[in-house]
Structure 1
């Protein structure tokens, strides 16, 4: 099955009724129609006008809600927006069924070009980290800084705990897994995801767990849920095999924007050993390691990740001021 063949989407008159997406206090959702895609954008009003824009991109199986804990901590320094990638969250599948890393990167670029918000402080987690790395490499004009939380960049030795996610990319596996797990409750599924993605799942509040279960129930009613998951997983695997100028590590070398790298010591999906390789590859990078964090540090330790992001922006501002003084002296 090609990653670019049209995705199966039932006609609108046979789509099941699906509960609305949760919106946290202070957040707003809007739908943006672009050529070939419709994106849902989650935003928060900035503390004041004129703040630089930031755009957040989630990982495989995630949504813009993954950034709801961190965005309020940054309202005073950036104008926050987070995307639901095509086929995830509240965004419908892309018209062309392209869930490749390049296809997702193209969606981000289309949005930034259409909105006129670039250059932005671009932030990505996991698959979103691979996507935003590609965006920063091919369209440096759209990126002020790049922040990567456990980015899904190629590894020679994949962790054993990450193998099931990779297997999802194989044709037929998603359908097999769907049949095998038909009897699983949403609560069971959420506990499994949290055990895989969090360094310490007990950090999730009861309310946070209930919200995650509600979102899981909503997603499982979407007829394209597993198709989007499987094709996006396949997109990651395919991106790992690309060579030449399209190789993700080669593109990481080309990124010009100041880059913040955040890695969790208990990440079961992205090897902690990749932190040093990333720090060597991105030319203007700073590395923050969180020994107790898992794969979604921005959800598990939002204050720490937000603090590191603030430091990145403060350093960039200081560089700009120093450059202005130097040019005027």
Structure 2
């Protein structure tokens, strides 16, 4: 199909077999999803994992023509057309990437064979409209923060519910690396038109195996706005993980891996 946007997305690819398209959230880059999913697929063969950088994030360009979430979505749709064509694939989206993933599932219901959402933006897109818990740190480590450079400590403290050397390491390697290279000018431009013109749930229910993971202490996207999505996803497992914030894959890795694995099993059982 012809390109709808002037952007070719940078991406990283691992494995062969059934395609799995993974979309990261707002500001980080593909390394967030790489860190999420590669441990899950370490013991599973037969999957081709595709990790693109969204426009203005990572190494993907964001020219002035990309000025809204509709334009970002169009760039991802181009990526699917160019890299996957009409082949069926699985779709995983985190935070803002979960918002885009739901829109892709709406537009390609026969092609998307399974949908997994990690701390997705829910029914309220704008931060001020979201129903979220108060920020809370359940497992603080003041000594760890004191031994960390001020900028990293501030970014980590702002998002973390569990403060350990391991969660800090993963935050540095999987999230902060993306924050450091984001095109802030381009993102500010897109942020002015952040809501998609078509509601991802404004259509027929998505009847393929679905997983919706949320954090009980997620003060960014919360968990209540996502619960409202359930009627649209009749095959959804919905989980609210305690001791988990917006980076629940880092703070509850065992549960994350188990629930993603169970979702993959459900998709495989459907054929």
Give the drift of 1:299: 3.4
Correspondences of 1:228-247 after superposition (within 5 Å): 228-236=186-194, 238-239=195-196, 246-247=198-199
User: CA 1:216/1:266 → structure 2, altered by over 3 Å: closer, same or farther?
Assistant: same
Give the drift of 1:205: 4.8
Tell me if structure 2 keeps the 8 A contact 1:126–1:149: yes
User: CA 1:317/1:191 → structure 2, altered by over 3 Å: closer, same or farther?
Assistant: same
Q: How many positions carry a matched residue from both structures?
A: 249
User: CA 1:196/1:119 → structure 2, altered by over 3 Å: closer, same or farther?
Assistant: farther
Give the drift of 1:203: 5.5
Structure 2 equivalent of residue 143 of structure 1: 112
Structure 1 residue 66 corresponds to structure 2 residue 32: yes
Out of 90, 105, 109, the position equivalent to 2:77 is 109
Tell me if structure 2 keeps the 8 A contact 1:190–1:212: no
Structure 2: how far apart are the matches of 1:55 and 1:318? 19
Larger Rg: 1
User: CA 1:200/1:231 → structure 2, altered by over 3 Å: closer, same or farther?
Assistant: farther
User: CA 1:272/1:134 → structure 2, altered by over 3 Å: closer, same or farther?
Assistant: same
TM-score by length of structure 1 reads 0.66
Structure 1 equivalent of residue 139 of structure 2: none
Correspondences of 1:310-329 after superposition (within 5 Å): 310-320=261-271
Tell me if structure 1 keeps the 8 A contact 2:160–2:245: yes
Out of 218, 229, 246, the position equivalent to 1:295 is 246
Give the drift of 1:248: 3.5
Give the drift of 1:82: 0.8
Deviation per residue, 1:1-53 (Å, 9 max, x gap):
xxxxxxxxxxxxxxxxxxxxxxxxxxxxxxxx995002110222x2xx5x211
Tell me if structure 2 keeps the 8 A contact 1:136–1:257: no
User: CA 1:205/1:158 → structure 2, altered by over 3 Å: closer, same or farther?
Assistant: closer
Structure 2: how far apart are the matches of 1:216 and 1:127? 14
Tell me the SS of whatever aligns to 1:145: strand
Tell me if structure 2 keeps the 8 A contact 1:70–1:303: no
> Which shows bigger deviation, 198-207 or 260-269?
198-207
Structure 1 residue 250 corresponds to structure 2 residue 194: no
Tell me the SS of whatever aligns to 2:217: coil
Structure 2 equivalent of residue 192 of structure 1: 154
Tell me the SS of whatever aligns to 2:9: strand
Give the drift of 1:234: 3.1
Out of 19, 37, 46, the position equivalent to 1:53 is 19
User: CA 1:235/1:305 → structure 2, altered by over 3 Å: closer, same or farther?
Assistant: farther
Structure 1: how far apart are the matches of 2:199 and 2:13? 32
Give the drift of 1:161: 6.6
Tell me if structure 2 keeps the 8 A contact 1:34–1:110: yes
Structure 1 equivalent of residue 95 of structure 2: 126
Unaligned runs of 5+ in 1: 1-32, 163-185, 321-329
Q: Over aligned residues, Cα RMSD in angstroms? A: 3.0
User: CA 1:278/1:227 → structure 2, altered by over 3 Å: closer, same or farther?
Assistant: same
**Larger helix fraction of residues:** 1
Structure 1 residue 271 corresponds to structure 2 residue 222: yes
Structure 1 equivalent of residue 8 of structure 2: 38
Give the drift of 1:158: 4.1
Structure 1 equivalent of residue 68 of structure 2: 99
User: CA 1:95/1:143 → structure 2, altered by over 3 Å: closer, same or farther?
Assistant: farther
Give the drift of 1:83: 1.0
